[in-house]
A and B are shown apart, each in its own frame.
Chain A
Amino acid sequence: MDTQITNKNPQMRYKQRKEEKPLMATGLSYNKSKALRDRLYALIFLGPSLLVLIVFVFFPMFRTLYLSFFLTNNLGKPTVFIGFANYISLLSSSAYLHSLQATFIYVIAVSCLTLTLGLLLAQTASQKVRGISFFRTIFSGTMGVSVSVAAIFWLFIFNPSVGMLDQLANLLHLPAINWLTQPGWAMTAVVISTVWMNLGFTFLIFFGAIQSVPSTLYEAAQIEGVSKIYQFFHITLPMISPTLFFVSIITLIESFKSFGLIDLMTAGGPDNATNLLVYRIYQDAFLSGNYGLASTESVILALIIAFFTFIQFKVLEKRVNY
């Protein structure tokens, strides 16, 4: 499931080596024993981490790819090579396509809301107002909340009989909503909870970035009569664009990988409305024992994430001012 991270590492490693080699070769004191010693040192220093990477990253990665072309028994052992049959059956399964769609909706909603709200909170907390440090602490509060605690907290809020939301609706004479048992509302509830979980981290990063913008930039603008809103869009945003770029990629990847809250709050239900790709992988692999199919889904998910990250790099990098 962590394949998108592993994809990057070997590449970077390779690049660095390529740059170092010619340097060594042109060195005046270059000789064979020194080169040998360098290799040895390289092996000693890189060996342990390489070993760890191989065992926990590269092997599972290639194993997953390998398994995706097989039928497996319920111990996860490959039995029959079936080529792309897993892929074809998945992409023609309406249940899987439904998951895909739900995931896209979820990811887009979560990313947009997290980024906008995080930015809004960070900008608010950057104002010089009395007592603002209290809110800074509150805003970053969800950093310290674990998924299970958050799930229980939100289950309480969304609970149809004792939940705060429905009591509120009652008070306002609005119809009660069965948050977690109606498909559309269940997705909304999960999105809200995830955004809430994300906000602490996003807020903190954005807040730090906004704080590091030199105050003289704003002062210079203020003296020239530039409005606060114009300052935000034409000074703050461009100045923090590298952070914005970084956080947007992280958020996107993280929301593709959401699992804990889904599992604890809806378990993919109701009616598969919140059965996102990662949750489906978990179900297929560990509940149904269908490792081949689950591997195929993992590969597809990795490709999707890689694709989106690539697009983000291409589109956003042009607008980022480093």
Chain B
Amino acid sequence: MGIELSNISKSYDNQNWTLKDVSVQIRSGEFFTIVGPSGCGKSTLLRMIAGLISISNGTLKIDGRDVTNLQPQERALTMVFQNYALFPFLDVKANVSFGLKARKMQSAQINERVANALELVGLSELKDRKPRELSGGQRQRVALARAIASDTKVCLMDEPLSNLDAQLRSKMRSEIRELQQKLGITLIYVTHDQVEAMTMADRIMVLHAHTVQQIGTPSEIYQHPANAFVAQFFGTPRMNLLSVHYASKNQRHLKFDSYIDYLLPRDIEDGDYFVGIRPGELEIHTADKANAVIKNIEYLGTQSIIHAVLDNDMEIRITTSKNNTFCLNDHVQIRATNTYFVFDSTGKAIFFNKGDVQNGYTDHKQEPANAL
């Protein structure tokens, strides 16, 4: 069941666009993640797909059928909510079978489906418990079981793991991913957590400032971000973004100081640019000739994040291996490597890793027509 969004827009107040022209073709059986900062309209988009709120503009097709103006129940999908939306007065079994019972399905069939769904999420033992007698993770699984029992081929999830602790979250991540594979459902998964998006998704859609920033596989998004926002959103710690002015007399050099100096593959127009450098793509040394001072060190076990200030007053983040002996206020030498990104003054990507955006990577607008 593919899902096709064409120029979907939403305005709550008929004045401002909360979302503008969202277009994407989600393939059948795809794990599709919508990610973006809080308030960017992820839930809004998901609820429009579910039919819980109206679509202001554009068309939505599920499995080739235009469902733009259909009621939620006519769209043949299910949804898992952030707060699980379990009925506190019903036990696990009754929660899972709620919709089936309401639709007057035969009880033998209901029992079979419920048993099946509970088996899949590993909750058969707890089927007689009330939600309040379950842990957060177990409640989440009840919600999953309910989605499974309804036996639709499209499932929507709105930040389903955000109420769980970090350890359980990573466990549930792989469980949900496995279930999705096993059942072959098309899953649209909303999250604000870039790690969740990266680790689970087949493809990611990045939303920001009412519009789609980029659509692509996790590696495309990480290695070829379409703009500075996407580049900074993915990866921890955040990518360094240094602003620089370029004039042709610089002869293709974007130079910050004698150690951080990038040679561009081709000439660019004069103007203001941003250079994006991932914290792992910088070298840090103790050397006689220092160009930076360490202002803060975050020790993370396998690595440390060093916050330093360059002599030209630019702040910069660098990750180093665990075996380092740097201390606060050390004078160090920070050197560029060959991996960097260049964005124009509006944030649009121009170069990445010395590759040219124009003749390298294609962004979502030129997505191949056989995408479905």
Contacts and interface: CB of A to CB of B under 8 A. Distances in A.
A321 interface: yes
Q: In the complex, which range does the number of interface residues on chain B fall in?
A: 20 to 34
Contact of A221 (B50, B83, B89, B102): B102
Interface stretch (A118-126, A144-152, A227-235, A281-289): A227-235
Nearest to B84: A216
A223 B80 CA distance: 10
A13 to B, nearest CB: 31
B134 interface: no
B246 interface: no
A219 B87 contact: no
A179 B146 CA distance: 56
Nearest to A239: B89
B103 A321 contact: no
A235 B87 contact: yes
Nearest to B156: A223
Contacts of B72: 219, 222-223, 225
Main secondary structure of the interface of A (DSSP, over half): helix
Given A220-B79, A224-B98, A214 B85 contact: yes
A275 B302 CA distance: 86
Interface in B86-118: 87-89, 98-100, 102-103
Given A220-B79, A220-B81, A226 B99 contact: yes
A224 B99 contact: yes
A238 interface: yes
B52 A221 contact: no
A217 B51 CA distance: 15
Given A223-B52, A223-B79, A217 B87 contact: yes
A221 B83 CA distance: 14
Contact of B73 (A214, A217, A224, A241): A224
B73 A223 contact: yes
Given A216-B81, A230-B102, A224 B87 contact: no
Interface string A192-221: 000000000000000000000010110111
Contacts of B51: 223
A321 B85 contact: no
Contacts of B100: 224
A239 B131 CA distance: 14
Contacts of B227: none
Given A230-B102, A321-B88, A321-B89, A224 B78 contact: yes
A311 B43 CA distance: 47
A12 B292 CA distance: 72
Given A222-B72, A223-B73, A238 B99 contact: no
Nearest to A234: B102
Given A224-B78, A225-B73, A219 B85 contact: yes
A238 B130 CA distance: 14
Contacts of A221: 98-99, 102
A235 B90 CA distance: 10
Nearest to B76: A225
B249 to A, nearest CB: 61
A219 B80 CA distance: 10
Contacts of B73: 222-226
A227 B99 CA distance: 10
A272 B50 CA distance: 62
A241 B150 CA distance: 28
Given A223-B72, A223-B79, A224-B102, A216 B85 contact: yes
B22 interface: no
21 contacts: A214-B85, A216-B81, A216-B83, A216-B85, A217-B87, A219-B50, A219-B52, A220-B85, A221-B98, A222-B52, A222-B72, A223-B52, A224-B100, A224-B102, A224-B103, A225-B102, A225-B103, A226-B98, A227-B102, A230-B102, A239-B89
Interface of B: 50-52, 71-73, 77-79, 81, 83, 85, 87-89, 98-100, 102-103, 146, 150
